[in-house]
């Protein structure tokens, strides 16, 4: 747990918190879910939010309480063709900002943590400082980075779908259908999560606890727009997965039609020959050709001529 006291311009150790900063009004806290219980009573937090932090369910919601806002968010990352989520929880007020992130091995999430902590320490060591303005800036950086990570993932999914579409167009394989289903599942999951995110921008702008100052309001209007655009992007990516499935179905149909056409050509070639052999296999008593010494070779020649004639007709009509 990391605690930065902007009133005293100090960074406290875990052991000295919360006693050392009980009288401070400007705190930034970065901690794990298990640490929340330590300052539960200090900030008079609602018990349900503490349960949300401890019980990681990877849901997205934003709730305004008396004096502070609570946001339960997720960070998404693509690994080994699977989407992995990590729940992030955030307390925001005019007196403190608390970021709760569980243990993880995500490089992107580590980058987000480092960026937030670097910015927070920059405010702590700066000459001029305004707590609420700095909290606004930290919140914007947090959401901005989160949006960028989601955007990168959607672009990666989009690239994967495009590459798979090109593979299917060149030659369809047995495992393509399973790959399409995996991509559709990931795209739908992200779309569902980002739909919840698209509501959060508006909820932040409601500013029920007067957390956002007027001069920083434009930043959060921008975030609200980007949340909505990101959801639109996720819808487009999911639409691409549907188009990919249609392309697959089209190629399967085309492949089936090719097989049927080949069988039809074979039938067309051998149909007349089958008729001829059927006639001479009837064993009627009076069949003059059976007594002729040229009957067999003439029949063979006739069959070759008929087959060649069928070939020429099909070639002329561009069926071959």
Please spell the DSSP secondary structure of 271-296, one letter per residue: HHHHHHHHHTTS--S--HHHH-TTHH
Distance CA 13, CA 96 (A): 17
What pLDDT score does 188 carry? 92
Confidence of residue 263 (pLDDT cuts 50, 70, 90): confident
The DSSP line for 202-264 is: HHHHH-TT--S-GGGHHHHHHHHHHHHHHHHHHHHHHHHHHHHHHHHHHHHHHHHHHHHHHHH
Distance CA 258, CA 269 (A): 17
pLDDT in tens, 46-97: 988 888 888 777 688 889 999 899 999 999 888 877 888 899 999 998 888 9
Which residues make Cβ contacts (< 8 Å) with residue 215, sequence separation at least 6? 133
Mean pLDDT, range 12-39, rounded to an integer: 79
- 160-164, 257-261, 316-320 — which is least confidently predicted? 316-320
pTM of the model: 0.79
Which residues make Cβ contacts (< 8 Å) with residue 207, sequence separation at least 6? none
Percent of the chain scoring above 70 in pLDDT: 95
Confidence of residue 16 (pLDDT cuts 50, 70, 90): low
- 225 token code pair: 């727009």
Most confident listed range (113-117, 122-126, 199-203, 304-308)? 113-117
The residue among 192, 210, 194, 181 whose CA lies nearest residue 69 is 210
Q: Which residues on neighbouring strands pair with residue 74, listed in sequence order?
A: 87
Whether the pLDDT of residue 165 is over 80: the answer is: yes
Distance CA 24, CA 18 (A): 10
pLDDT in tens, 218-259: 988 999 999 999 999 999 999 999 999 898 888 888 888 877
CA atoms within a 13 Å half-sphere pointing along the CA-CB vector of 253: 6
Confidence of residue 127 (pLDDT cuts 50, 70, 90): low
Residue with tokens 């401890």: 54
Confirm if 77 and 219 have CB atoms less than 8 A apart. Answer: no
The superfamily in CATH containing domain 2-160+168-253 is: CorA soluble domain-like (3.30.460.20)
Distance CA 84, CA 72 (A): 16
Distance CA 181, CA 238 (A): 11
The superfamily in CATH containing domain 257-316 is: Magnesium transport protein CorA, transmembrane region (1.20.58.340)
Q: What are the boundaries of each domain within the chain?
A: 2-160+168-253, 257-316
Are β-strands 27-31 and 2-5 bridged in parallel, bridged antiparallel, or unpaired?
A: antiparallel
Helices (H), 126-216: 131-170, 176-206
Cα angle 149-216-36, degrees, rounded to a multiple of 5: 60
Confirm if 38 and 20 have CB atoms less than 8 A apart. Answer: no
Give the DSSP H/E element, type plus range, for residue 265: helix 217-279
Q: Which has more pLDDT, 224 or 13? A: 224
Cα angle 46-52-53, degrees, rounded to a multiple of 5: 95
Distance CA 315, CA 320 (A): 5
Distance CA 142, CA 115 (A): 8
């Amino acid at each position: 747990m990391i605690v930065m006291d902007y009133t005293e311009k100090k960074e406290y150790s875990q052991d000295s918190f919360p006693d050392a900063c009980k009288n401070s009004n400007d705190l930034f806290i970065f901690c794990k879910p298990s640490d929340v219980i330590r300052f539960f009573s200090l900030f008079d937090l609602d018990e349900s939010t503490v349960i949300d932090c401890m019980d990681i369910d990877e849901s997205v919601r934003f709730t305004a309480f008396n004096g502070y806002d609570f946001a339960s968010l997720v960070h998404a990352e693509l690994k080994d063709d699977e989407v992995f989520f990590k729940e992030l929880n955030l307390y925001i007020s005019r007196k403190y900002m608390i970021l709760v992130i569980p243990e993880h091995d995500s490089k992107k999430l580590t980058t987000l943590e480092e960026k937030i902590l670097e910015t927070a320490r920059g405010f702590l060591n700066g000459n001029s400082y305004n707590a609420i303005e700095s909290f606004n800036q930290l919140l914007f950086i947090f959401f901005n980075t989160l949006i960028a990570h989601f955007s990168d993932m959607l672009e990666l999914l989009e690239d994967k779908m495009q590459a798979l579409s090109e593979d299917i167009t060149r030659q369809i394989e047995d495992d393509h259908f399973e790959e399409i289903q995996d991509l559709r599942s990931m795209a739908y999951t992200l779309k569902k999560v980002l739909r919840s995110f698209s509501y959060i921008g508006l909820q932040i702008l409601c500013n029920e606890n007067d957390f956002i100052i007027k001069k920083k309001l434009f930043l959060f209007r921008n975030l609200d727009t980007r949340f909505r655009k990101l959801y639109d992007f996720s819808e487009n990516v999911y639409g691409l997965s549907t188009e990919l499935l249609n392309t697959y179905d089209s190629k399967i149909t085309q492949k089936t039609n090719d097989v049927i056409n080949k069988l039809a050509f074979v039938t067309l070639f051998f149909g007349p020959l089958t008729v001829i052999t059927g006639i001479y296999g009837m064993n009627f008593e009076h069949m003059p050709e059976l007594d002729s010494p040229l009957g067999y070779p003439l029949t063979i020649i006739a069959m070759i001529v008929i087959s060649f004639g069928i070939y020429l007709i099909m070639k002329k009509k561009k069926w071959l």
